[in-house]
Amino acid sequence: MGIAKIAILGGGQMGAGVAQVAATAGIDVVMIKATPGPVDKARSGIEADLTKLVERGKLDQSARDAIMGRLSFTDRLDAAADCDLFLESIVEKLETKREKFAEVDRLAGPQCILASNTSTLSITAMQSATKRPERFIGLHFFNPAGAMKLVEVIPTATTNQAVTASVIGFVERLGKTPVLVKDETGFIVNRLLTPYMLDAIRCVESGLADIRGIDTAMHLGANHPMGPLALADYIGLDVVLAMSENLYATFKHDCMEPTDLLRHLVAEGVLGRKTKLGFYDYSQRPPAPNKALQKR
C-alpha cells in the first residue's frame, strides 16, 4: 500500500510547504487550489523558495528542476482521481471540510486514502461525510512544513490498521517523525500550546508585563525558540482563535476560553505576520511591539 502520488487541497503556506517537502522526497504531487483564481501564486512561491536554496548552495539546479517536475498545479478536484493520498489543508471550518471530502470521495479512486491536516477539528466528524471511513485519517503537519519534524497521525476507531501503517511510512519517507494521537480536539500539541498562548494574552490584558517582556521571559527563562505572543502572530491570531474556540467548546476549561483581546484583534483584522500587524508590527525591521496594544 505504497504512496507514490498525492493530491493536496489548499495552496496556502501550509499546503505549499507539504507539497514541496513531498516533491523533494521523490513523490509526485498535484496541488489543487481551493479558492477561485489562478494557481500561479503557489507555484511561484515554491519556485522562489527552491531558487533561494540553490543560491545558498543547499540544492543544485538539477535537483531543483527535478522537484518542480514532480509538482503540478490545478483548481480541479478531479485531479485527485489517480492519487494514493488526498490531503486537505484548507480553512478550519468543519462543514467546509466535510463538503470537500464528500466531493473528493466520489471522485477519487478506491485506493485513495483521505486525510485532513486540521489542527484541532474532529477527524471522525469529517470521515462521516465519506463512504470510506476505513481509509480516512488525520495528518497534522506543522508550520513551516520544511523545518518542523513532527507530524501528528490521527487514526479514528474505524481507520484500517494497514492505512495507518502506510501513512506512517509516508511520513517517515518525508523525513518527519510521526506520533500517533487519539482523535480528540487539539490532539497533543495544540491542546497544550493553545492555553499557553491564551495565558500570555491574558498577561498582556492584565498589564503583568509588556509584550517584549513576556516573550523575552519565556524565550530565555524556558528556553523556547520564541515567546508565546510572537508564536501566536506566526501561527495567525485568527487560527489561534479558531483553535481556542474548538477546544473550549469541547472541554469547557477556563484556560481554553478565547480572551476578549484576541477576539477584538481578529475582528479588527489584526492577525499577526500575515497582515503585518499583531502583537508586533512587522512593517518594521526588526519587528517592534504593537504600540496600540501597549496602551490597552
203-256 pLDDT per residue, tens: 999 999 999 999 999 999 999 999 999 999 999 999 999 999 999 999 999 999
Mean pLDDT within 251-271: 98
How far apart (Å, rounded) are the C-alpha atoms in residues 189 and 193?
6
How far apart (Å, rounded) are the C-alpha atoms in residues 288 and 79?
44
| CA angle, residues 238, 77, 155, in degrees to nearest 5 | 65
In the predicted structure, residue 35 carries a pLDDT above the cut 90: no
Location of each CATH 3.40.50.720 domain in the chain: 5-180
CATH class of the domain at 5-180: alpha beta
pLDDT for position 126: 97
State the pTM of this model.
0.93
- What DSSP assignment string belongs to 189-244? HHHHHHHHHHHHHHHHHHTSS-HHHHHHHHHHHS--SS-HHHHHHHH-HHHHHHHH
Location of each CATH 1.10.1040.50 domain in the chain: 189-294
pLDDT for position 1: 53
Catalytic machinery residues? 119, 140, 152, 190
How far apart (Å, rounded) are the C-alpha atoms in residues 192 and 186?
8
pLDDT for position 169: 97
Q: Grid cell 487514526 — which residue?
A: 155
How far apart (Å, rounded) are the C-alpha atoms in residues 40 and 46?
10
CATH class of the domain at 189-294: mainly alpha
